[in-house]
């Protein structure tokens, strides 16, 4: 930005203030003390503006929309507005800068630049930006998702991989996952065949049960309502962030929002503390029990890894929030695409019938023999990544991406949604076409920067394999067992495709469908529906 452009921004402010000051003598009611307050306010504002503009001189930031003094581009953008960032990338280029308050933000929107962020500059961009609310929820990063990169982060990630996401642990919990999915299938058959079903509700209940059993050793059915209430309160708090949250010199006015964040954080803490205490009591009463849950592993290794109750609560919360919503969102979008692309749905069902047959049920062991189903899952994650904007990376030092400066402390967003629709990376990018992955085996675990549903580099999601297994198992099961159609009177072209803005991009209007059986039902242990 040139000095001339800076003058254009500042000049109207001087002009307006001078006009206002010229009126002071005629107003009569202004006291000398109020004049002092006016002058001080104007001086502080001008100092902040000049400091901000001076700080940006010589940094050669990427192009982007012109920020306003103090608030930056907050008047234009809502939290996690990946569609607007994509629009800006079409105007200003694939690397774009904007401001939230006085904080510099940079968005990258193509595979080449994603590789720059996630591989070439991975270490310098491995920290996290935490808002006031996230500081409360994560206890200032005493977890995995929001921790800054360092020895604690490396230790916690290793612990999660070894004790939760290793192939050995995934296989140990496989029968439980398969049984919970069978319970869901039988329940849909019993209660909703021929009736309108909000598919997200059943999917979420099943995913919650599966994740809870892996984390806690039981389904936590009695805790479901409280956990959902905490999740909803946290979501509302995050999406209602305003100027006070983001403009550093106004944070002293944020006591009301801070009190709300404290209350949600405290409720979250009490919830997990109750579960931890109960688990400790169970361990003391049955010291030789052989439970495979993640919480059991955390408690048994707390001294080895120096884990506080806060850290244990933070890890459990990360696994709940990262696991449930992302899987459910991916499944719902897959169902949407299959309903508006019936040829794809029919091909997936034909493959399931051919491989599994008509007398067996879907299990994870069939997944390697269902390449088209895997392609459907990948294509869904390309067009509808559950986390369309990666959580913000924060620069630990000044660096350059291409020829542009990325100042220390700035936030860098990878626009996964835009990359999945990049016409330079994909043929017919807006067409739902699973066959593209039969023609080219695109890696989904962070090595191919065109498909980044699970991230890449140091901050990559450690649960990628579990996520793929669960989406494939659940989607394959409901396609194999049921025929799905839209409610009477609805046409495929009328299905709303708008996302809800948030860290996880659910369909804004939940999908309603009508299931009818395709195959005979098989029994299961119906203990949670």
Question: How many Cβ atoms are within 10 Å of 299's Cβ, its own excluded?
Answer: 17
β-bridge partners, 209: none
Query: Which residues are CB-contacts of 343 (< 8 A; sequence separation ≥ 6)?
Result: none
Q: Which conformational region is residue 101 in: left (phi greater than 0), alpha (psi within -120 to 50 degrees), or beta?
A: left
**Residues 184, 529 contacting (CB under 8 angstroms):** yes
Query: Which residues are CB-contacts of 194 (< 8 A; sequence separation ≥ 6)?
Result: 514, 515, 516
Phi, psi (rounded to 5 degrees) for 240: -100, 15
- Rounded to the nearest 10 degrees, the angle between the axes of helix 167-191 and helix 199-216 is 150
Tokens of 163: 């004790």
Secondary structure class of 72 (helix, strand, coil): strand
Tokens of 232: 């909803």
- The reply, when asked if residue 461 is annotated as ligand binding, is yes
DSSP secondary structure of 92-109: H-SEEEEEETTEEEEEE-
Query: Residue 279: which of 252, 236, 313 has the closest Cα?
Result: 313
**Angle at the Cα of 390 (from 387 to 393), degrees rounded to 5?**
160
Structure-token match 């997936």, residue found: 348
**Residues 340, 431 contacting (CB under 8 angstroms):** no
**Residues 175, 365 contacting (CB under 8 angstroms):** no
Query: Which residues are CB-contacts of 520 (< 8 A; sequence separation ≥ 6)?
Result: 358, 359
SS3 content of the chain, % helix, strand, coil (to 5): 60, 10, 35
User: How many helices (DSSP H) and strands (DSSP E) are in the chain?
Assistant: 19, 10
Tokens of 142: 């005493």
Secondary structure class of 385 (helix, strand, coil): coil
Q: Annotated binding site for heme, which residues?
A: 461
Q: Annotated binding site, which residues?
A: 461
């Amino acid at each position: 930005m040139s000095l001339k452009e800076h003058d254009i921004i500042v000049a109207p402010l001087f002009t307006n203030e001078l006009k206002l000051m010229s009126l002071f003598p005629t107003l009569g009611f202004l006291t000398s003390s109020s004049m002092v307050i006016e002058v001080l306010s104007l001086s502080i504002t001008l100092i902040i503006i000049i400091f901000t503009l001076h700080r940006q001189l010589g940094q050669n930031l990427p192009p982007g929309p012109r920020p306003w003094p103090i608030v930056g581009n907050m008047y234009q953008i809502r939290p996690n507005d990946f569609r607007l960032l994509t629009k800006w990338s079409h105007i200003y280029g694939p690397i774009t800068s904007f401001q939230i308050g006085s904080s510099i933000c940079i968005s990258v929107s193509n595979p080449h630049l994603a590789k720059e962020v996630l591989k070439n500059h991975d270490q310098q961009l491995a920290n996290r930006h935490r808002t006031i609310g996230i500081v409360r929820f994560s206890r200032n990063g005493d977890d995995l998702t929001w921790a800054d990169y360092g020895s604690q982060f490396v230790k916690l990630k290793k612990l999660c991989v070894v004790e939760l996401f290793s192939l050995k642990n995934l296989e140990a919990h496989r029968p439980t996952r398969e049984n919970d999915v069978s319970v869901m299938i039988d329940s849909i058959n019993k209660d909703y065949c021929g009736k309108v079903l909000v598919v997200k509700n059943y999917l979420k209940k099943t995913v919650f049960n599966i994740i809870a059993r892996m984390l806690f050793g039981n389904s936590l059915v009695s805790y479901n309502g409280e956990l959902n209430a905490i999740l909803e309160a946290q979501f509302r708090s995050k999406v209602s962030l305003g100027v006070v949250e983001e403009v550093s010199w106004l944070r002293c006015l944020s006591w009301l929002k801070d009190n709300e964040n404290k209350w949600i954080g405290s409720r979250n803490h009490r919830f997990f503390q109750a579960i931890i205490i109960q688990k400790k009591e169970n361990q003391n009463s049955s010291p030789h029990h052989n439970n495979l849950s993640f919480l059991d592993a955390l408690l048994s290794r707390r001294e080895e890894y120096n884990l506080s109750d806060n850290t244990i609560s933070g890890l459990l919360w990360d696994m709940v929030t990262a696991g449930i919503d992302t899987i459910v969102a991916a499944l719902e979008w897959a169902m949407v695409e299959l309903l508006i692309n019936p040829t794809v749905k029919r091909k997936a069902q034909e493959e399931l019938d051919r491989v599994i047959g008509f007398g067996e049920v879907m299990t994870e062991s069939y997944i390697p023999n269902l390449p088209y189903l895997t392609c459907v899952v990948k294509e869904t994650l390309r067009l509808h990544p559950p986390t369309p904007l990666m959580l913000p990376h924060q620069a630990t030092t000044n660096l350059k991406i291409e020829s542009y400066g990325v100042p220390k402390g700035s936030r860098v967003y990878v626009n996964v949604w835009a990359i999945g629709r990049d016409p330079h990376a994909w043929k017919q990018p807006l067409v739902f076409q699973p066959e593209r992955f039969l023609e080219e085996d695109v890696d989904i675990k962070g090595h191919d920067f065109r498909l980044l549903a699970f991230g890449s580099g140091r901050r990559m999601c450690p649960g990628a394999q579990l996520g793929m297994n669960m989406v494939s198992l659940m989607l394959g099961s409901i396609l194999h067992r049921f025929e799905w159609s839209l409610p009477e009177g609805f046409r495929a072209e009328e299905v709303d495709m708008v996302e809800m803005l948030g860290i996880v991009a659910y369909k804004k209007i939940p999908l309603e469908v009508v299931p009818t059986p395709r195959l005979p039902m098989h029994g299961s242990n119906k203990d949670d529906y």
